[in-house]
Chain A
């Protein structure tokens, strides 16, 4: 699903990411760990096609994203990649239902009303589709952000620091939910974190230095 060869990325003269070889197969769940500034978020941005790597080759679902045009990378991201942001970034002016609808709309995919209702119900938010993000707790927002990332049934799910500012119980819940939900849609999962508490949930880990 993900194949990385000789990846390097730099901001100006400062190199922030170096991975010689790394591969994530379909359905695998990986933890990417490292201290702050080790390039975890940069790696997720490169995998999402939001950053073009300075050097090396990154293949997502068999496509070399460095060789894709901007439009092709946008299309790949919309159709095949789901992202859960560290700050969740739900759109405050939209209801939960509309936040979930945003994913197919922006990816240019058919609307997925039935899937949205189903996913809201699965996450225990079936009656709250018309609420806005400001009416939710942090844990509820986390579930909506995950639902939005999964609504297009991506092949690759990326999560950036998903357990930041959560207590131990919720950290376990979120890690379990990420792995279960990714497995349910058949997506490979890559979670970037410096939170050692979720390490036991993952059999595979990449450590950045």
Chain B
């Protein structure tokens, strides 16, 4: 028999107390893991979606809304811009590329984006099946959109006005799926891509031909980093358009979300501390119940140090089980979020940078909680305990 078996036998005897102690520790670790994992993956995804896009140009309004609508496709656009003005900007000497976007409709909750093949090339999305769209009303689906819509080359779908499902449908203008993209891990996976002409044709049929052709936004890459100093100012002051920097707006968004994430981290820290206190309470209660057992161990020749090691080992083992379970629960919670919100494109089982530290902290809290009970063991009057017990 080993000291470990002595401790294991006791906590198996006291299953409920052990389970509650482990669960409280696991809860703290799980919340910390899920919160940090969510923050890490959303930040990484935002960076992937905005990669290589230096500037977004659209209608005047909220710059954050412009970025959310044109880069992440997570908000309604601020409005439209004149095609002529956009084409002038596309030819600007400081612009290396400018990808046009025409937004407005969606299918099954996935946005229909009128654009050019340059958008797909920008994110490096290879075709999984079929071919690239060529003419109006042809569409290429992102991987997740194709999977959820259960559509592939040769299928048709009807677009509906607006972002939400259930908007007015354009039944007289069905789209034909000509290709499906392979997964890219970017926003492309959740889009239905079509030539800009499709968007114009659908809306001309409903609203009549517009006096001036319009698009929603331009995604721009600078020819030179120096462009950042002058191009946005030029656009914002000398045109009817608005220019917004994804990097700046993402940083602003992160600052806005940071408070919430800090609150989650704080909650996780409080839960970890509560787990440590619960363990302290469990160990003190266990010690009161076992003081005769421990006196017997001393009477059998155990040094105080050996008995202290038993108590500290038990508290470490309980905390370690809680930490491992907590990591599993945390990733399980991320899997549940990923299932509920597939648009977030989370990989729930991807290791989180800080989870090693969370586990180490949780495991360290166990022996820390065990120190005081272990000290009481060290000071125990064995002869008196045996006489009273």
A, B bound: yes
Chain A residues engaging chain B, CB cutoff 8 angstroms: 41, 45, 48, 50-51, 70-71, 74-75, 77-79, 83, 85, 87, 89, 91-95, 98, 101-103, 105-108, 111, 148
Known contacts A51-B383, A111-B1; A89 and B301 CB within 8 A of each other: no
Report whether B299 and A107 are in contact in the complex, using a CB–CB cutoff of 8 Å: no
Minimum Cβ distance to chain A for residue B271 (Å): 29
Interchain CA distance A45-B302 in the complex, whole Å: 16
- In the assembled complex, how far is the CB of residue A173 from the closest CB belonging to chain B, in whole angstroms? 24
B6-A89 in contact (CB<8A): no
CB atoms of A102 and B300 under 8 A apart: yes
List chain B residues, Cβ under 8 A from A74. 298, 301-303
The verdict on A71 contacting B303 (CB below 8 Å), with A92-B13, A93-B9 known, is yes
13 contacts between A and B (CB under 8 A): A45-B383, A50-B382, A70-B303, A74-B301, A75-B301, A85-B296, A93-B10, A93-B293, A94-B6, A98-B5, A102-B1, A102-B297, A111-B1
Alpha-carbon distance between A135 and B181 when the two chains are bound, in angstroms: 69
Across the interface, name the chain B residue whose C-beta is closest to A71. B303
List the A side residues contacting B306 at CB < 8 Å: 106, 108
CA distance A140 to B387 in the complex (A): 22
> Which residue of chain A has the shortest Cβ distance to B301 in the bound complex?
A78
User: Using Cβ atoms and an 8 Å threshold, which residues of chain B touch A111?
Assistant: 1
- Contact present for A50 and B386 (CB under 8 Å): yes
B292 touches A89 (CB 8 A): yes
Give every chain A residue within 8 A of B387 (Cβ-Cβ): 41, 45
- Give chain B nearest CB distance to A91 CB in angstroms: 5
B208 part of interface (Cβ distance < 8 Å) = no
Interface residues on B, range: 20 to 34
Given A50-B382, A91-B293, verify A107-B9 contact (CB < 8 Å).
no
**Shortest distance from the beta carbon of A22 to any chain B beta carbon, whole Å:** 20
CB neighbours (8 Å) of A75 from chain B are 301
Task: Please tell me if B12 contacts chain A, counting CB pairs below 8 Å.
Answer: yes
B225 at the interface (CB under 8 A from A): no
Residue in contact with B302 in the complex, picked from A78, A95, A148, CB distance below 8 Å: A78
Q: Which residue of A lies closest to B14 (CB)?
A: A93
CB of A77 within 8 A of CB of B301, answer: yes
Q: Find the B residue at minimum CB distance from A151.
A: B300
Shortest Cβ-Cβ A-B pairs, 9 listed: A78-B301, A107-B301, A93-B13, A106-B302, A101-B1, A106-B300, A45-B383, A50-B383, A93-B10
User: How far is B32's CA from A109's CA once the two chains are assembled, in angstroms?
Assistant: 45
A51 → B minimal CB distance (Å) = 5
CA distance A45 to B384 in the complex (A): 9
- Cβ contacts B304-330/A at 8 Å (1 or 0 each): 101000000000000000000000000
Complex Cα–Cα for A98 and B10 (A): 12
Contacts of A45 in B (CB 8 A): 383, 386-387
A74-B302, A98-B1 known; A89+B386 contact, CB < 8 A: yes
Residues of A within 8 A of B259 (CB): none
CA distance A51 to B295 in the complex (A): 13
Name which residue of chain B comes closest to A51, CB basis: B383
B168 in the interface (beta carbon within 8 A): no
Residues of chain A with a CB closer than 8 A to B296's CB: 85, 89, 91, 102
Chain A contacts for B14, CB-based, 8 A: 93
Interface string of B356-389 (1 = CB under 8 A from A): 0000000000000000000000000011001101
A51 to B385 CA separation, bound complex (whole angstroms):
12
Q: How far is the CA of A171 from the CA of B300 in the complex (A)?
A: 25
Write the nearest CB–CB distance from B286 to chain A, whole angstroms.
Answer: 10
State in angstroms the CA–CA spacing of A183 and B256 once bound together: 82
B149 contacts partner chain A, Cβ-Cβ < 8 Å? no
Please name all residues of chain B whose beta carbon is closer than 8 Å to the beta carbon of A87 when the two chains form the complex: 292, 389
Complex alpha-carbon distance, A77 and B304, angstroms = 13
Which of these, A41, A51, A70, A107, contacts B300 with CB under 8 Å? A107
B2 within 8 A of A: yes
Could you tell me if A48 and B6 are in contact, using CB atoms closer than 8 angstroms?
Answer: no
Q: Are B9 and A78 in contact (CB under 8 A)?
A: no
Known: A89-B296, A98-B9. A105 touches B1 (CB 8 A): yes
B3 within 8 A of A: yes
Residues of A within 8 A of B386 (CB): 45, 50, 85, 89
Closest B-chain residue to A87, C-beta based?
B389
With A78-B301, A85-B299, A107-B300 given, name 19 new contacts (CB 8 A).
Answer: A41-B387, A45-B386, A74-B298, A74-B303, A77-B300, A87-B389, A89-B293, A89-B296, A89-B386, A89-B389, A91-B6, A92-B293, A93-B12, A98-B5, A101-B1, A102-B1, A103-B300, A105-B3, A106-B302
A44 CA to B237 CA, complexed, in Å: 98
Shortest Cβ gap from B296 to chain A (Å):
5
